[in-house]
Amino acid sequence: MSDIVIPKNYKSQLNLYETQVAIKTVKDFFQGLLAERLHLLRVSAPLFVDPTSGLNDNLNGVERPVNFHIAAQGDREAEIVQSLAKWKRYALQKYGFQPGEGLYTDMSAIRQDEETDNIHSIYVDQWDWEKIITKEERNLETLKETVRTVYKVLRKTEKYMSIHYDYIEEILPHDIFFVTTSELAEMFPDYSPKEREYYIAKAKGAVCIMQIGETLENGKPHDGRAPDYDDWALNADIVVYYPVLDIALELSSMGIRVDKKALLDQLQKAGCPERAELPYHKAVIGGELPLTIGGGIGQSRICMFFLRKAHIGEVQCSLWSDEVMEIAKENGLQLL
């Protein structure tokens, strides 16, 4: 299924060539400042992994990873990564990073089951980052301070773009508002999780929604979260209000990663304790991997936000249905 909404009187302020220039401007500034503020080194990362390694991200547990077979390796199966949340902990150890140091990389994924609309594509591009922390830093304050750092980078990027492009006005508030999913449910008991995000984002401008994945009082989680990378008690999404589409727009997802206790507990709650026998999970349980905090930041998402675009296809090359392409053409929307 594909869905597209064209805001009334919407018109891109940049043509295709100007958009490409602006995309590079956003990405160069943002990733450079992010690496500086979080002390991250850029590294290379895999596009595909062995499905038996347990390294691939299960996301909400229902998405099918794209797979293929390698002829030169006896038709061995490989999977396109859905994120690099687990691989990054291996890389930090393998490359010899120390506490306080981290890495970031370009992550490209194909999510064939994604329902596409103005902000979703089957192609996912994001900066995946990961940083080593100590046992003493494995707490809520570390998470909040990291969120504040990432949010400051977002605000500085918006200011930078507003200086370079007259049509871009600063809309992000000075501070980000912190709220847990249970608090959000208490504030908006009669609304769905997505409606709650919309109302809180519109009211505050920018919010950090914490503790995603844990079951709420109604017996359901606010949103799905794989049980084997984020600690559900110590994770967060940065969500902002986006007036171009009048929506809550998630720009970043992050969390302090599971230790042995959190991993075993969450695997049990998710009904998949057998995953504890996979190589990655054994490494976490055995204490062979460093304690870390990490996340992903959507590259096309932030370009879309900072350039005030109405559709992710204006900043990203992907495949769209004939219906979407026709609607875009009728409304003068130039999809890449």
Task: Give me the active site residues, please.
Answer: 57, 111, 126, 237, 250, 253
Q: Quote the CA–CA distance of 90 and 95 in Å, as a whole number.
A: 9
Please, are residues 143 and 172 in contact by the beta-carbon 8 Å criterion?
no
Q: Quote the CA–CA distance of 219 and 240 in Å, as a whole number.
A: 27
Which CA distances in Å does 261 have to 143, 153, 288, 292?
18, 33, 14, 15
Which residue type is seen at 336? L
- Length of the chain (residues): 336
Q: Quote the CA–CA distance of 308 and 71 in Å, as a whole number.
A: 44
Q: 């986006």: which residue's tokens?
A: 242
Retrieve residue 180's tokens. Answer: 């847990």
Residue 210: count of CB within 10 angstroms of its CB: 24
Please, are residues 209 and 236 in contact by the beta-carbon 8 Å criterion?
yes
- Cα-flanking dihedrals φ and ψ of residue 91, to 5°? -65, -40
* SS3 state at 53: helix
Q: Quote the CA–CA distance of 28 and 36 in Å, as a whole number.
A: 12
Which CA distances in Å does 298 have to 4, 87, 138?
20, 18, 25
Q: Alpha helices of 95-176 — where are they, by DSSP H?
A: 140-164
Strand partners, 180: 210
Q: Quote the CA–CA distance of 285 and 257 in Å, as a whole number.
A: 12
- Cα-flanking dihedrals φ and ψ of residue 232, to 5°? -60, -20
